[in-house]
Amino acid sequence: MAKVSWKGSALLAPVPAALVTCGDMEKSNIITIGWTGIVCTRPPMTYISVRQERYSHDIILDSGEFVINLTTSAMVRQTDLCGVKSGRDIDKFAVCGFHKAPAKIVAPPLIEECPVSLECRVTESRILGTHTMFLAEIVGVDAEEKYIDSKGKLNLQQCGLAAYAHGEYFALGRKLGDFGFSVKKKKKKKPAAHK
């Protein structure tokens, strides 16, 4: 297959377009973040990379806390808006019609409309170039009750999560398999009962 080779570029996709909240219940801001991910399971660790000129940058640097709120297809317009307007100029909670809910452990608010929120505490800030990477421990998780079944399992597929790939937003669609399905043994068919 013919391939075109380019110089290194930030072309990983898809990524989340997460709504990251910072500040506190009184004075808070929302910034849309694509550069995020999980970097460790135990302790649960994440990162967000934020350009130094963002209004949110110094708020997170000074407070050492933020919340990653997962976004759904239904809120993709607000997600885009929080990624093109600055909290220096507008109150993004008010403009988006989002409601604040207090987090259990950290000071920044949760976005009530988001199905899952990760409360994060910064453990290290590193200027990498255009962006500062805030490495953080996920110290708490807040999930909407209606997505948790009677066995306590969180059914994320019911939330209608959205993703971002190379400048475009997508709704997560058809399920293709479960973790480990490629090696899972097929259940033997029970022999038909003799009549």
Ligand X SMILES: Cc1cc2nc3c(=O)[nH]c(=O)nc-3n(C[C@H](O)[C@H](O)[C@H](O)COP(=O)(O)O)c2cc1C
Which residue, judged by CB position, is nearest to ligand X in the bound state?
Answer: 83
CB closer to ligand X, 84 vs 192: 84
From the CB of 190, what's the least distance to ligand X, in Å? 50
CB closer to ligand X, 64 vs 83: 83
Cβ burial 141-173 (10 Å sphere, 16+ → b, else e): ebbeeeeeeeeeeeeeeebebbbbeeeebeeee
CB closer to ligand X, 97 vs 180: 97
From the CB of 57, what's the least distance to ligand X, in Å? 7
- Between CA 41 and CA 91 the distance in angstroms is 34
What are the start-end ranges of the H helices in 45-116? Answer: 55-63, 76-81, 92-96
From the CB of 149, what's the least distance to ligand X, in Å? 31
CB closer to ligand X, 83 vs 160: 83
Dihedrals phi, psi of 161, to nearest 5 degrees: -65, 150
**Contact by Cβ (8 Å): 31, 87:** yes
Which residues of this protein are in contact with ligand X, per CB under 6 A? 17, 29, 31-35, 49-51, 54-56, 80, 83-88, 131, 164
From the CB of 46, what's the least distance to ligand X, in Å? 12
> Integer distance in angstroms from the first to the last C-alpha of the chain?
58
